[in-house]
Amino acid sequence: MSRLIMILILGLASLGPIVPVYAQVDTFEFDTAEQQQRFRRLSDEFRCPMCQNTSLTGSTGGVAEDLRREIHRMIMDDWTDEQIEQFMFDRYGDFIFYRPRLRAETVLLWFGPLIFLVVGGLVIFNIVRKSRAASAETLSEEEQRQLNELLDRKS
């Protein structure tokens, strides 16, 4: 009996990886190929609010499905890309964009890596320069004499 239960559990567990294959695929009808291209581009540019790092295109979450339907509706209602982006921004903020808009709140996000690179380069440059300057310094005659005395005492 326990062997039969174990076989059933293993059989059900082995079906787990197959289940996503049967997930519903969104099929939207468009009047023109340009509308379809806009839909694909916008769906790729927006991040799923439920998933951490997945576009609306790649997400199977319920929120992503709703947003894809909403984008389709807006495209069919002749909304511009800017209007759709503003709608998404008003609803979800900068998080919805893979490439957030350049604004006062996102300046550090856009230029932070460059600032850190420049500051890090300057720090490394100063460290190298100071170490070269320190190694290039010569001893005064008095310091050389004291060093020689210490070395003579050790040997």
Distance between CA 100 and CA 76 in Å, rounded? 25
pLDDT attached to residue 80: 94
At 129 the pLDDT is 86
Please report the beta strands in the chain, taking only residues with DSSP state E, as ranges in sequence order: none
- Residue 8: inside a domain, yes or no? no
pTM of the model: 0.57
How far is residue 19's CA from residue 9's CA, in Å, rounded to a whole number?
Answer: 16
Is the Cβ–Cβ distance between 34 and 76 less than 8 Å?
Answer: no
User: Would 119 be classed as within a structural domain?
Assistant: yes
Output the CA angle 94-114-120, nearest 5 degrees: 135
Return the amino acid letter for 132.
R
In a domain? residue 14: no
CB 72 within 8 A of CB 85: no
SS3 46: strand
* 120 and 93 share one domain: no
pLDDT of residue 22: 45
Domain assignment present for 10 = no
Residues 32 and 82 in one domain: yes
Please tell me whether residues 95 and 128 are part of one structural domain: no
Domain co-membership, 75 together with 32: yes
Does 116 lie in the same domain as 83? no
Residue 9 counted as domain residue: no
Q: Which own/partner contact pairs does 18-27 have at CB distance under 8 Å and 24+ positions apart?
A: 20/60, 23/60, 24/65, 26/65, 26/68, 26/69
45/86 same-domain check: yes
Domain assignment of residue 7, yes or no: no
- The alpha carbon of residue 25 and the mean position of all alpha carbons in its chain are separated, in whole angstroms, by 26
Does residue 17 belong to any structural domain of this protein? Answer: no
The CATH number given to whatever domain includes residue 95 is 1.10.8.640
Structural domain for 123, as ranges: 107-154
For residues 113 and 80, state if they share a domain.
no
- How many domains does one find in the chain? 2
Domain contains 13:
no
User: Do 36 and 72 fall within a single domain?
Assistant: yes
Residue ranges for the chain with pLDDT beneath 50: 21-24
One domain for residues 49 and 83? yes
